[in-house]
Chains A and B, each alone.
Chain A
Amino acid sequence: MGTLEQRVQRLQDITDIRRLKIEYAQQCDDNYNPDGLTVLFTDDAVWEGTGLGRYEGKQAIHGFWTDASGRFTFALHYMVGDAIDIAPSGVEATGHWYLWEPATIDGRAMFVAATYDDVYKKVDGRWLFHRVQAHSHFLAPYESGWVKVPFAELD
């Protein structure tokens, strides 16, 4: 067991990483604010999503969010079920999350269901995303549901 100092630090780190993920959600819901999102990543970060591609480095990630900003006119990112592990080093961590996202994509109401596997790094005392892997489970039109149409064809 760690010292009291180490144990409190670990709880603080978990709290700070939760905050990072919610800030990410809020920026996504601010019309996928590319600047607001990119500052949450390390310089050499990778964002990857099922069917959405792989983006390496801040510039590529910024470009991805700029494109998303035009297609998603509305979204709410409900981030739940977080399981966060701080590595013994205290400067690396992993997180698993669930996402439930009502969204309007290309003018259509959709339900998006995903899970995330994240890797975080503490840089200059601040936790940032180092890897984000988003696993899409469905992207279903509101009217049809995920059995009839698990992945809607986008324009």
Chain B
Amino acid sequence: MATLEERTQRLEDIEAVRRVLLRLGESCDGPYDADTFVSLMTKDAVMDLMEMGVYRGRQAIHDFIAGLREHISFTLHYWCGFLIDIAPSGTEATATWYGMETPTIEGRAVLGGLTHDARLRKVEGRWMLTHLGQKLHFMTPYDKGWVKERTIPPIGS
């Protein structure tokens, strides 16, 4: 069994990772704060948003996030259900979580249901994302619901 020190460290790391992820979510609450968003990622981080594209490196990620401001005037990220694993090395971690979003997109109320995943690395004592993924389950106009219209067309299309 791990030492008391190691066990306590693991609990602290889980909490630290959770806080980094929540900070990331908050930085996406409109208006999108691309500077804060990329400050939580390593230089070579990859953001894979599936149907919304893959973005490699801080600059590409920054440009994409900053661009969302033109289309999304408001949103809140309700992130919950974190499942965080700290690798035995203590310097790598994985996480999955649930997200519900309430954006106003092109002036329309939209309700989003997503799940997310991330890989993180501890760099100089600080947890940073090396990978961010998401699965979009629905992004429906509020007056429709996910059975009638599962997702609005991709932003900017």
Contacts and interface: CB of A to CB of B under 8 A. Distances in A.
Interface string B75-116: 000101111000000000000101010000000000001010
A78 B100 contact: yes
Interface in B11-50: 11, 14
Given A11-B11, A15-B14, A22-B83, A4 B147 contact: no
Interface string A47-82: 000000000000000000000000000101111100
Contacts, number: 56
A126 interface: no
A104 B4 contact: no
Interface in A84-99: none
A135 B83 CA distance: 24
Interface in B120-157: 137-138, 145-148
Contacts of B11: 8, 11-12, 15
Contacts of B98: 25, 76-79
A19 B148 CA distance: 33
A152 interface: no
B75 to A, nearest CB: 16
Contacts of A108: 147
Interface string A112-155: 00000000000000000000000000000011000000000000
Contact of B83 (A8, A26, A142): A26
Interface of B is mostly: strand
Given A8-B7, A104-B147, A79 B81 contact: yes
B146 A5 contact: no
Contacts of A23: 83
Nearest to A103: B146
Contacts of A80: 80-81
Nearest to A19: B83
A74 B82 contact: no
Contacts of A102: 113, 138, 146
A78 B80 CA distance: 7
9 contacts: A5-B4, A12-B7, A12-B11, A15-B14, A25-B81, A78-B81, A80-B80, A142-B146, A142-B147
Interface of A: 4-5, 8, 11-12, 15, 19, 22-23, 25-26, 29, 74, 76-80, 100, 102, 104, 107-109, 142-143
Given A80-B81, A102-B113, 11 more contacts: A5-B4, A8-B4, A12-B7, A22-B81, A22-B83, A26-B83, A74-B146, A77-B98, A109-B147, A109-B148, A143-B145
